[in-house]
């Protein structure tokens, strides 16, 4: 059965899409090492200048006018119909050389940017099987194209939405969960929570509140620390600043003046330990980080979600009763106090998170991909919008 799987992603809006592709690659290498895998980011192949421009525009829009980004995202019902076919044709011209060189049997996209281009190639002459691994708890119209053979989605509600809105056949949509690193799966990680807390130097008797801003340390983490430190409750604060060295140094300077113990970390590669040790995660609701939290049975307090995709993620997580959303920064502290004073509610949220978590999503994705490696490629009709 040996074949070749091309995993396609982008890094223009954080590293979640990349981490999902890496998780699928990891699972494939584990269960089918004879299958060749290659991971590529395609926007630099299309235009390195475009990639730099899009990344800069995205970050600046989030900083200066986040509501504008939200408006653009929520307009996707119109923009996807108007622009996705033209975008697909343009990008396909740039990626035909990649397909010719790699000759993949299966292509799996964890970002929507080039998915349409591969779908366009499929509808014309390409013979690979094409899959889309959606990395949020909802989706926009740029994810759905004629020529896509299968979709990997996070939840049953999303599957039903794709069926209703786009008229995609149910058999093409698999509810796997968002692919995450197998380090978060019980069979592959340290399961002794007390031992992990001891190794991290966290008092077993006090709640551990974990504050993160993704790999870039994005968000008002310093303000959150100040608001939580004003609470009279006893707890340990943990802040992961990622690659944000400026924030790390600021918090390091503040640390001696805080009344609560602060564990400060820069970039870490053992997030599974921190999520296992924590009692509560205070974070933005990115699809990957939220999925890692659910796999760890870790409840969330959501702060400042990015308008658009993270707002939709927030609605799903709150609906699943695994998260509370703070409408203001001051409310972050109010919600923390609320949960600390109601341990029964916090435990219910922990149990709900564990039920909602899909720690083996990447293995399920790998199994589906391997099934398609053994199948002939079928003609795929264009879904309606």
pLDDT tens-digit series, residues 101-126: 999 999 999 999 999 999 999 998 88
Percent of the chain residues topping a pLDDT of 70: 89
Ordered by start, the domain boundaries in the chain are: 4-180+361-373, 183-356
Q: Tens digit of pLDDT for each residue in 326-377?
A: 999 999 999 999 999 999 999 999 999 999 999 999 999 999 999 999 854 4
The answer to whether the beta carbons of residues 375 and 171 sit under 8 Å apart is no
Give domain 183-356's CATH architecture.
Answer: 3-Layer(aba) Sandwich (3.40)
User: In this model, does residue 220 exceed pLDDT 90?
Assistant: no
The confidence band for 381, taking pLDDT boundaries of 50, 70 and 90, is very low
pLDDT digit string, tens, across residues 227-242: 999 999 999 999 999 8
User: Of how many residues is the chain composed?
Assistant: 385
Q: In what order do the strands lie in the sheet with 262-265?
A: 262-265, 236-240, 208-212, 280-283, 300-302, 323-325
What is the C-alpha to C-alpha distance for residues 129 and 374, in angstroms, rounded to an integer?
A: 10
Question: Shortest CA distance to 282 belongs to which of 344, 200, 214?
Answer: 214
Residue 321 backbone class (left: φ over 0; alpha: ψ -120 to 50; beta: rest): left
How do residues 42-62 score in pLDDT, each as one tens digit?
998 888 777 777 777 666 666
pLDDT score recorded for residue 47: 82
pTM: 0.91
Q: To the nearest whole number, what is the mean pLDDT of the chain?
A: 90
Provide the b/e sequence for 125-160 (b: ≥16 CB within 10 Å).
Answer: ebebbbbbbbbbbbbbbbbbbbbbbbbbbbbeebbe
Name the least confident of 59-63, 148-152, 195-199, 374-378: 374-378
The CATH superfamily holding the domain 4-180+361-373 is Glycogen Phosphorylase B; (3.40.50.2000)
């Amino acid at each position: 059965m040996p074949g070749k799987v091309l995993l396609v992603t982008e890094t223009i809006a954080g590293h979640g899409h990349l981490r999902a592709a890496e998780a699928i690659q990891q699972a494939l290498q584990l269960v089918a090492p004879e299958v060749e895998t290659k991971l590529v980011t395609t926007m630099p192949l299309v235009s390195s200048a475009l990639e730099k421009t899009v990344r800069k525009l995205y970050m600046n829009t989030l900083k200066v006018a986040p509501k504008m980004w939200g408006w653009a995202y929520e307009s996707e019902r119109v923009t996807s119909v108007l622009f996705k076919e033209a975008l697909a044709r343009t990008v396909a011209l740039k990626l035909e050389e990649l397909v010719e060189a790699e000759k993949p049997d299966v292509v799996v996209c964890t970002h929507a940017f080039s998915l349409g281009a591969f779908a366009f190639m499929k509808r014309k002459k390409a013979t690979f099987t094409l899959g889309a691994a959606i990395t949020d708890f909802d989706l926009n119209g740029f994810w759905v194209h004629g020529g896509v053979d299968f979709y990997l989605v996070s939840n049953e509600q999303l599957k039903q939405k794709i069926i209703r809105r786009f008229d995609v056949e149910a058999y093409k949509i698999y509810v796997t969960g968002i692919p995450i690193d197998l380090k978060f799966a019980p069979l592959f990680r340290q399961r002794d929570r007390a031992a992990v807390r001891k190794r991290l130097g966290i008092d077993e008797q006090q709640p551990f509140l974990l504050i993160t801003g993704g790999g870039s340390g994005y968000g008002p983490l310093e303000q959150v620390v100040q608001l939580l430190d004003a609470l009279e409750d006893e707890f340990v604060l943990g802040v992961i600043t990622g690659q944000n060295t400026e924030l790390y140094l600021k918090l390091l300077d503040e640390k001696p003046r805080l009344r609560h113990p602060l564990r400060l970390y820069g970039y870490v590669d053992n997030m599974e330990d921190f999520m296992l040790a924590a009692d509560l995660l205070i974070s933005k609701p990115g699809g990957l980080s939220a999925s890692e939290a659910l796999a760890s049975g870790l409840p969330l307090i959501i702060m400042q979600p990015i308008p658009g995709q993270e707002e939709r993620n927030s609605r799903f997580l709150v609906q699943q009763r695994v998260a509370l959303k703070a409408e203001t920064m001051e409310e972050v502290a109010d919600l923390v106090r609320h949960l600390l004073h109601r341990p029964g509610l916090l435990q219910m949220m922990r149990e709900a998170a564990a039920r909602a978590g899909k720690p083996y999503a990447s293995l399920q994705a790998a199994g589906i991909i391997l099934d398609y490696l053994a199948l002939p490629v079928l003609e795929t009709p264009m879904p309606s919008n």
